[in-house]
A and B are shown apart, each in its own frame.
Chain A
Amino acid sequence: MKTVEVTKSSMIPIKKGSAATQKLLALVSLVVMVIIFSVLKPVFISFNNIMSVMLSTCVYGILALGVTFVIITGGIDLSVGTVMTFSSVIGALAISKWGIPIIPGILLALAAGSMCGFINGVGVSKLKLPPFIATLAMMMVTKGLSLILTGTKPIYFTNTPMYREIALGSIFKIEGFYNAILIFVVCIIIAVIVLSKTIIGRYCYAIGSNEEAVRLSGINVDRWKIVIYTICGFFCAIAGVIMSSRLDSAQPALGPGYEMEAIAAAVIGGTSLSGGEGGMLGTVIGSFIMTVLINGLRILSVPQEWQLVATGVILAFAVYIDLLRRRKA
């Protein structure tokens, strides 16, 4: 029996990648982008522009927070954009057509969004539909329902001028520091805590990492999936309220396309579509990358079509970097 001698020199150093690398990379890209735009057009870092970037990040950002929960479980939610719209339509109907006061109206909108998420969760867990299909169906259904309920026409909050204050007022009386931004910050804090400090977050990662193992540990995976999709729906509804408040109306045709931006933001921020990895702060950074890019290009007078192209390239690039990191690991 002969034995092969192995020398230490034949060992290959192995580079280790981590999800943190991706987040760091995203943060660095964001900072670089901000610096470049500020140098090219100083107006970019004016208070008003910063607030405007923040405001336009709010809606996408909150959707992205919601969808991040779902993506970490290894699932996907394509219905976030249209569920957002559907929730805003329900809220607008309640407040402007049925004469329900603002607060109960908003609660109704939040309930509507959560219900959509709940149904997604049931479809994915109990009916075993692939998340892509279950939420694609929900996207179509809510889009259709929004159009039906409104008769395809926007509903305005003409009788309740206070509604506009929800997003565009300023509780701190600072011109430009809109409530929407405050709500966004609160959402971020809640999402971070839920994901990293509670059992819900723990099970998001666990299910995304090895669903079968979780099931065999005696955990009711179906129930937790329903909870997680419901949370996503709830976040969509919050986005819906902010959206309709900003526009002072519920626009039934809005929504499609938002889901892709939300998913893109999560992925750019380091959340892996195969599940088990990612985080809320990464998603926030990802959301800002997208809005900063669009805002900056607009300030540089780049046509809107090209802004889209740039976003697409950034997304592909981010995922490619993620793949490289994974392959090395």
Chain B
Amino acid sequence: MDTALVVMEGISKSFPGVKALDKCRISLNKGEVHALVGENGAGKSTLMKILTGVYTKDEGRILIDGKEAVINNPRDAQKYGISIIHQELNLMPHLTVAQNIFIGRESFQKNRILLNDKELNRKTEELLKLFNLDIKPTVKVSELTVAKRQMIEIIKAISYNSRILIMDEPTAALSETEVEELFRTIRRLKNDGVGIIYISHRLAELKQIADRVTVMRDGKYIDTVNIDDVTVDDIVKMMVGRNIFVSAPEVNASDDAPIALEVRGISRGKLVKNVSFKLKQGEILGIAGLMGAGRTETARAIFGADPRDAGEIYVNGKLVDIKTPTDAVNAGIAYLSEDRKQFGLALGLDVETNIALAYFKKFTKLFGFVDTKKTSENAEEMVRKLQIKTPSVKQKVKNLSGGNQQKVVLGKWLTRNCNILIFDEPTRGIDVGAKSEVYSLLNDLAKQGKAIIVISSELPEIIRISHRVLVMCEGRITGEVSGDEITQENIMTLATKHID
């Protein structure tokens, strides 16, 4: 057998307070597609960032073609022929397609000072033709769809003549035909001897494209197996390593439960198009869709965080005029954003203050003095009710774990008497154990009659907790599933139902 293209072994990496990787390894052969799987936070991205020189390793070694390689920055990685297609797209939206693909490798005129964009566009056109892409090299990237941008990024990586290609969730934003296109490309690259490390959450597609699969969990290497020797279920078991919380929502909202929220024809530019739905008290409504489908944008438009072009919102049957988040909160709608740190919490303040933050009016005495006795009583009550794990209500929120921070945000909105709760990626960055806690919490809240919307990119999560699921694609609701119809296949079909 040839020497492996890449061998990473004994790789460890720590960040302040976290051991992100603990003696991890992976090897990649020529012409191989090697899948790398694991739950969020398992360390896949960190491992790949080490291979591409974004992070430097604490220990371990990297062999390329059997020789030890020193990779300290992205430039070094490029020299070894390593390219990565990032999950968060790394393009420059203000630049054209050609300028993006050839950034750092511009063509010059004969005088070696002025740029030769004609040459650049010609080269780009050839590449685009190779991939059957109908895009002009001179179009600005900001004008392309997410899927097209992804293809541009793949083309960019391939144009480096890379021998080692890392794809981080390449299909997350692609429709089925586009995925086919991508797989064809991958197979051709394989034939050319390119090694591909393929990170994906869509385990089903690994069977189609991968040769071997390496599983990681909690920053540790678990195993490497031939894809033909295992089933998807086996992989899931290795990824999770313990029994997952699987329980459909216990009680369904009764059919005659009153409607808590009704949304009619919400639109916002090209992000949200004519979205309408009803939400009953005690119901958990999931909103599913691919990256860029307009889920978060819909939530933000309902909450008044972004201006909407059209649409009406009814709370408990009454038309409410929501122009700002303040209006929404006054109407009893709370939005728990996906980025808790940025939008939901004042991290440097204690639990008590954060919980009181949305409703200080309730806790102020004459002349605006804060009644600290009342705020701490209220915080104690929320800590008990939501089982927030904190040494005391005086603890600073930044010292709590992700799951508990999430609960503090929730406590804040419950204090404000919000009965319609919109959760945007409620378990992002939370470990598996805390996840199931969040799920049962959502269940409890629904049982208490709260109306709940959950936006999540993780399909198993949506399937696990929702009574009913709306699926969005390109800003529109493309369908609705409920009960036994809530399956991965049904949702994916609707999520890739591009109408144009």
Contact = CB atoms under 8 A, between A and B. Distances in A.
Given A6-B499, A12-B309, A202-B115, A219 B104 contact: yes
A212 B54 CA distance: 11
B288 to A, nearest CB: 13
Contact of A216 (B54, B108, B309): B54
A311 B481 CA distance: 58
The 3 closest A-B pairs by CB, nearest first: A209-B92, A276-B94, A10-B274
A206 B75 contact: no
A217 B267 contact: no
A14 B92 contact: no
B281 interface: no
A50 interface: no
Interface in A199-234: 199, 202, 205-206, 208-210, 212-220
Given A12-B267, A206-B99, A327-B307, 13 more contacts: A6-B273, A6-B476, A12-B309, A14-B269, A197-B114, A202-B95, A209-B92, A213-B90, A216-B84, A216-B86, A216-B90, A219-B104, A276-B93
Interface in B109-149: 113-115
26 contacts: A1-B481, A4-B480, A6-B273, A10-B265, A12-B270, A12-B310, A193-B114, A197-B115, A198-B115, A199-B108, A202-B95, A202-B99, A202-B106, A206-B92, A209-B95, A210-B90, A210-B91, A214-B103, A216-B52, A216-B74, A216-B86, A216-B90, A218-B77, A219-B103, A219-B104, A276-B94
Nearest to B270: A14
A214 B92 contact: yes
B260 interface: no
A218 B479 contact: no
A248 interface: no
A209 B113 CA distance: 23
Scoring B52, B95, B113 by chain A CB atoms within 10 A of each residue's CB, the highest score goes to: B95
Contacts of A12: 267, 269-270, 273, 309-310
Interface string A4-20: 10100011101000000
B78 interface: yes
B7 interface: no
Given A210-B93, A216-B90, A3 B99 contact: no
A2 interface: yes
A218 B78 contact: yes
A2 B92 contact: no
B114 A210 contact: no
A11 B115 contact: no
Contacts of B409: none
B452 interface: no
A276 B92 CA distance: 9
Size category of the binding interface on chain B: 35 or more
Interface in A1-41: 1-4, 6, 10-12, 14
A41 B92 CA distance: 48
A2 B479 contact: yes
Contact of B92 (A213, A218, A220): A213
A322 interface: no
B158 interface: no
Nearest to B499: A6
Nearest to B103: A217
B11 to A, nearest CB: 20
Contacts of A215: 74
B16 to A, nearest CB: 18
A11 B272 CA distance: 10
A11 B274 CA distance: 8
A261 interface: no
B490 interface: yes
A277 interface: yes
Nearest to A9: B274
B490 A1 contact: yes
B179 to A, nearest CB: 21
A216 B48 CA distance: 13
A182 B476 CA distance: 57
B91 A3 contact: no
Contacts of A218: 73-75, 77-78, 104
Contacts of B92: 205-206, 209-210, 213-214, 276
Interface in B47-95: 52, 54, 73-75, 77-78, 84, 86, 90-95
Nearest to B91: A213
B94 A277 contact: yes
A208 B94 CA distance: 9
Interface residues of A, number: 32
A202 B107 CA distance: 12
A136 B226 CA distance: 59
B494 interface: yes
B259 to A, nearest CB: 18
Contacts of B310: 12
Nearest to B114: A197
Contacts of B267: 10, 12
Contacts of B95: 202, 205-206, 209
Contact of B478 (A3, A209, A210): A3
B250 interface: no
Contacts of B84: 216
A205 B307 CA distance: 29
Contacts of B73: 218
Contact of B273 (A2, A10, A202, A220): A10
Contacts of A3: 478-479, 494, 497
A218 B274 CA distance: 43
B5 interface: no
Contacts of B269: 12, 14, 328
Nearest to A196: B115
A205 B480 CA distance: 43
A6 B479 contact: no
Interface in A166-212: 193, 197-199, 202, 205-206, 208-210, 212
Contacts of B104: 214, 217-219
A6 B274 contact: yes
Given A10-B273, A210-B92, A213-B90, A199 B106 contact: yes
Interface in A283-329: 327-328
A327 B54 CA distance: 34
Contacts of B115: 197-199, 202
* Most chain A beta-carbon contacts within 10 A, residue among B86, B90, B479, B494: B90
Contacts of B307: 327
Contacts of A216: 52, 54, 74, 84, 86, 90
Contact of A1 (B99, B108, B479): B479
B453 interface: no
Q: Of residues B91, B93, B94, B115, which shows the largest number of chain A Cβ atoms within 10 Å of its Cβ?
A: B94
A205 B94 contact: yes
Nearest to A206: B92
Contacts of A219: 103-104
